[in-house]
Amino acid sequence: MLVNQVDWTMTPEKAIDMYLEWGSGWTRGHDFVSHHGQESIYFVLYDWEGPQATLIRRNMAGAEEIAQVAVPRDLFEEACREDGYRPGVGVHALNEAMKEWLCTAIDGTPLEYLLAGNM
């Protein structure tokens, strides 16, 4: 089931590091793509869009937006603010409150279970 494949620990920066910056694996230990078929499914927030979370499927060939979920404006703004403003960057990671809300909204496995390594 797709909702149970969401990587709740993935961030936009980590995805770029893992999938687009081959050869710099020493900067992140063993956390990098090890084979061509590997993919990650994760949510991001785009601050130029309305309050929604975008589900991304990323592999070595690129990234595909596969779904968008409307989210409460206050949670969206809080998550973007917590992630911080960086010039030229409008893609934000989820904060814990947004992860909890999304996991419930998409009827996924409870977040605390997944983050405990039970996937």
Tens of pLDDT, residues 40-76? 899 999 999 889 999 999 887 888 999 999 999 999 9
- Per-position DSSP letters for 18-37, written without gaps between them: HHH-TT-GGGGTT-S--STT
What are the domain boundaries of the chain?
A: 2-22+39-115
How far is it, in rounded angstroms, from Cα 49 to Cα 26?
A: 35
pLDDT digits (tens, 9 = 90+) for 67-109: 999 999 999 999 999 999 877 779 999 999 999 999 888 876 6
Is residue 54 within 8 Å of residue 71, measured between CB atoms? no
Q: Is residue 23 predicted with pLDDT exceeding 80?
A: no
How far is it, in rounded angstroms, from Cα 24 to Cα 92?
A: 23
Sheet hosting strand 62-70, strand order edge to edge:
62-70, 52-59, 39-46, 91-92
pLDDT value, residue 24: 52
Q: Say whether pTM exceeds 0.85.
A: no
Torsion angle defined by CA atoms of residues 43, 14, 63 and 30, in that order, rounded to the nearest 10 degrees: -120
Q: For residue 70, how far is the Cα from the chain centroid?
A: 15
Residue whose structure tokens are 């969401």? 6
